[in-house]
Amino acid sequence: MLDPVSWITENGQIFREFNAEIDSLNGKLRLIDQTLLPEKLVYVELDDTEAIFDAIKRLVVRGAPAIGCAAALGVAAVVRKSTLENASELLELVNNTADSLAESRPTAVNLFWALKRIKKSVAGMSDSAEIRTVLLQEGLGILEEDIAMCRAIGAHGAELLTEGMGILTHCNAGALATGDYGTALSPMYVAKENGINVKVFSDETRPLLQGSRLTAWELNKAGVDVTTICDDMAGQVMKEGKIDMVIVGADRIAANGDAANKIGTYGVAIMAKYHNIPFYVAAPYSTFDLSLKSGDEIPIEQRNADEVRKGCGKLTAPEEVNVYNPAFDVTPHGLIAGIITEKGIIRAPFEENIKKIVR
Catalytic residues: 251
Residue with Cβ nearer its own copies (45 or 307): 307
Query: Please, which residue, 72 or 238, has the CB nearer to its own copies?
Result: 238
Can residue 10 be called a binding residue for its own copies (CB under 8 A)? no
**300 residue type, one letter:** I
CA distances from 248 to 20, 87, 262 (A): 33, 45, 9
Q: Does 241 bind its own copies (CB under 8 A)?
A: no
Q: Does 294 bind its own copies (CB under 8 A)?
A: no
- Is residue 76 within 8 Å of 65, Cβ to Cβ? no
Report how many residues bind its own copies under the rule CB under 8 A.
58
Q: Does 169 bind its own copies (CB under 8 A)?
A: no
Q: Rule CB under 8 A: say whether 198 interacts with its own copies.
A: no
> Which residues 6+ apart lie within 8 Å of 77 measured at CB?
2, 22, 27, 28, 29, 46, 47, 52
Q: How far is the CB of 49 from its own copies (least distance, A)?
A: 31
Inter-CA distances, 288 with 7, 291, 294, 341, 358, Å: 27, 9, 11, 10, 8
Site string for its own copies, 111-150 (x = CB under 8 A): ----------------------------------------
Which distant-in-sequence residues (6+ apart) come within 8 Å of 144 by Cβ? none
The answer to whether residue 201 forms part of the interface with its own copies (CB under 8 A) is yes
Q: How far is residue 158's CA from residue 156's CA, in Å, rounded to a whole number?
A: 6
Type of residue at 235:
G
Q: Which is nearer to its own copies, 140 or 209 (CB)?
A: 209
Q: Which is nearer to its own copies, 220 or 286 (CB)?
A: 220
323 φ, ψ (degrees, to nearest 5):
-130, 135
Choice from 325, 343, 344, 348 touching its own copies (CB under 8 A): 325
Choose, by CB under 8 A, the member of 86, 107, 236, 304 that binds its own copies.
236
Instruction: Look up residue 28 and give its DSSP letter.
Output: -
Which parts of this chain interact with its own copies (CB under 8 A)?
A: 38-39, 170, 201, 203-207, 209, 212-213, 216-217, 220, 225-237, 239, 263-264, 266-268, 270-271, 273-274, 300, 308-309, 311-326, 329
